[in-house]
Amino acid sequence: MPTRRFRFSNPSLVTGGALVLLILVVAAMAPYVAPYGPNQVDYNAVLQGPSMHHWFGTDQLGRDQLSRIVFGARTSMEVSVGALVVGAGLGVPVGLIAGYYRGFLDTWVIMRIVDAIQAFPFLILALVLAAMLGPGSRNAMIAIGVGLVPTFARTARAQMLQELGKDYVDAARVVGCSDLRIIFRHILPNALTPIIVQATLAMASSIVAEASLEYLGLGVQPPTASWGSMLQSAQGYLQLAPWLVVFPGLALVLSVVSFNLLGDGIQRWFNRKLS
């Protein structure tokens, strides 16, 4: 009975969590899920529509679209998770330290740098950095991750300011805990839920940014399967083979919606827990 009540009270968390888990499992098990190799060419099956042999059809080289979408999920998750690690790994400590010490360091140094980065639209900044660093999955991770830093820094700083006045922080100071121990051992665990919510939303943004970089040739390079490069190569076949655009586009939309649903569900759970 409690499980059923939880399911109906927070469908976003259940639905989003299930879809995200499915995407991650498919990405991790890509070699076992995909019916063909992602770069397996069959010139006898060029631009075939969806069929029993090729559920999502084939592309201009006869490659199975379902297999490439499955391996594209792995590419998307690898780059997006890597970007998330960069963004959170830099932004969260910076935000916590700024909020803890406040004063000149916070107001005139750290947050002004964060404001300067945030002045650029996220996707534009990622494109500029990727163009400067050059194509490749690692450079795409760095470019997208740097764009995520301001969001995580502001979220962590806000949580730090909220937690600073609580009794457990004063108690930790009284017993002689160092600043770093107070920040990362005592305050960070109590500030994690909003950061986790932000991480799920950042994953959705990272997936879109990663696909955009690949569409422009600034992400992983062919013949590696990726949703963005599949959409780019399909633009010349929109009327002849529309399935080349439809299925990668649906995979991209499903991934973004899934992470947004998960973030919304976690936020609702957190708000309900507080109330």
Give the C-alpha separation, 224 to 26, whole Å. 17
What does the pLDDT read at residue 275?
59
Per-residue model confidence as pLDDT tens digits over 134-168: 888 899 999 999 999 999 999 999 999 888 878 88
pLDDT band at 73 (very low <50, low <70, confident <90, very high): very high
Tens-place pLDDT, residues 30-44: 999 999 988 888 888
pLDDT of residue 211: 92
- pLDDT class for 1, splitting at 50, 70, 90? very low
Q: Which long-range contacts (CB under 8 A, 24 or more apart) does 6-11 make?
A: 9/272, 10/265, 10/268, 10/269, 10/272, 11/265
- Compute the mean pLDDT over every residue in the chain, rounded to the nearest whole number: 88
| Displacement of CA 185 from its chain's centroid (Å) | 26
Residue 257 pLDDT: 94
What pLDDT score does 65 carry? 93
Whether 150 and 92 have beta carbons less than 8 Å apart is answered as: no
Which of the four pLDDT bands, split at 50, 70 and 90, describes residue 95?
very high
Which tokens hold the place of 261? 């649903």
Q: What percent of the chain has pLDDT over 90?
A: 41
